[in-house]
């Protein structure tokens, strides 16, 4: 009941504008003592393992800069065996499974349409019979998303939308949450077939940037729609795909029905680079 009241109240708030304001505050250049205290307090509040960060805490000029930190070299191991796909991010597994009847699971008792998620019926048809995995990134997690498999980035689609939160309460109570929130889908063709990675924005995460296309940023007034890349951008498994400028969700879709998920359990911790699927 409390969760529903909070979500109902949030529904009255202009969430996209709020997200821009939070983003501006997170990147505000406060005086050095305030900056050091705010970064330290953020890391402590969310129990972040600062030893994994690329730089010491004192090197980050703002909370936003620390939030989008890179990992130090060697902090994650990417499985390089052939025919493997890896988790695109740190976080927790929200759910996963075989795409059945053109639908995916959002939460227990809630399903949503893949065609609505991708906003393209033909794209959705290519993934029929494939599988998916959804990873939720909390504020304590590393917030750069990486390519789950190698190949060539051939297309992307930016879909402006709402910025509802994507926490447990929202996932369980907001219908078609991932289909109404702002998101970017990246399509890669490679040895595992077609793989799509969807970065879903959320409240206070109204800004997503892409490593392969720096001209595409969300919640910045850009028109939505598809983009194609000819020639495509070659990427290796584990290469950086994009950045959430606060926490959110990544959904990976596999079109090839011969790709099978590993035994994964809902709610289990996920680490960038761990195996999530393989070609059978």
pLDDT (0 to 100) of residue 25:
45
Phi-psi region of 185 (alpha: psi -120 to 50; beta: other; left: phi over 0): beta
pLDDT (0 to 100) of residue 206:
63
pLDDT (0 to 100) of residue 107:
84
pLDDT (0 to 100) of residue 9:
44
Q: Which residues are catalytic?
A: 90, 146, 248
pLDDT (0 to 100) of residue 29:
62
CB within 8 A of 76, min separation 6: which ones?
238, 271, 272, 273
0.75 surpassed by pTM: yes
Residue 194 to residue 224: CA distance in whole angstroms? 22
Residue 134 to residue 113: CA distance in whole angstroms? 14
Residue 156 to residue 185: CA distance in whole angstroms? 5
Q: pLDDT (tens digit, 0 to 9) for every residue of the chain, 280 residues total?
A: 444 433 444 444 444 444 444 444 455 565 566 677 888 998 999 999 999 999 999 999 888 899 999 999 999 999 999 999 999 999 999 999 999 899 999 987 899 999 999 999 999 999 999 999 999 999 899 999 999 999 999 999 999 988 888 887 888 889 999 999 999 999 999 999 999 999 999 876 568 999 999 999 988 888 889 999 999 999 999 999 999 987 689 999 999 999 999 999 999 999 999 999 999 8
């Amino acid at each position: 009941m409390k969760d529903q009241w909070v979500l109902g109240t949030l529904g009255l708030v202009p969430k996209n504008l709020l997200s821009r304001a939070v983003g501006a505050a997170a990147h505000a250049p406060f005086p050095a003592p305030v900056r050091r205290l705010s970064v330290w307090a953020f890391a402590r509040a969310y129990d972040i393992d600062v030893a994994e960060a690329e730089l010491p805490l004192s090197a980050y000029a703002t909370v936003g800069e620390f939030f989008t930190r890179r990992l130090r070299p060697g902090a994650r191991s990417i499985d390089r065996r052939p025919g493997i796909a890896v988790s695109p991010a740190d976080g927790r597994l929200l759910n996963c499974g075989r795409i059945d009847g053109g639908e995916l699971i959002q939460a227990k008792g809630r399903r949503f349409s893949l065609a609505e998620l991708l906003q393209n019926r033909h794209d959705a048809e290519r993934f029929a019979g494939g599988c998916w995995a959804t990873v939720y990134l909390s504020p304590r997690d590393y917030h750069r998303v990486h390519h789950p498999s190698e190949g060539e980035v051939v297309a992307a689609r930016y879909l402006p939308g709402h910025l509802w939160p994507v926490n447990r309460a929202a996932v369980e109570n907001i219908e078609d949450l991932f289909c109404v929130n702002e998101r970017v889908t990246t399509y890669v063709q490679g040895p595992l077939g077609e793989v799509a990675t969807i970065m879903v924005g959320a409240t206070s995460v109204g800004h997503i940037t892409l490593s392969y296309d720096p001209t595409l940023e969300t919640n910045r007034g850009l028109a939505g729609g598809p983009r194609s890349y000819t020639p495509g951008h070659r990427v290796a498994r584990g290469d950086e795909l994009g950045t959430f400028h606060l926490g959110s969700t990544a959904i990976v879709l596999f079109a090839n029905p011969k790709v099978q998920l590993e035994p994964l359990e809902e709610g289990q911790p996920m680490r960038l680079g761990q195996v999530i699927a393989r070609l059978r």
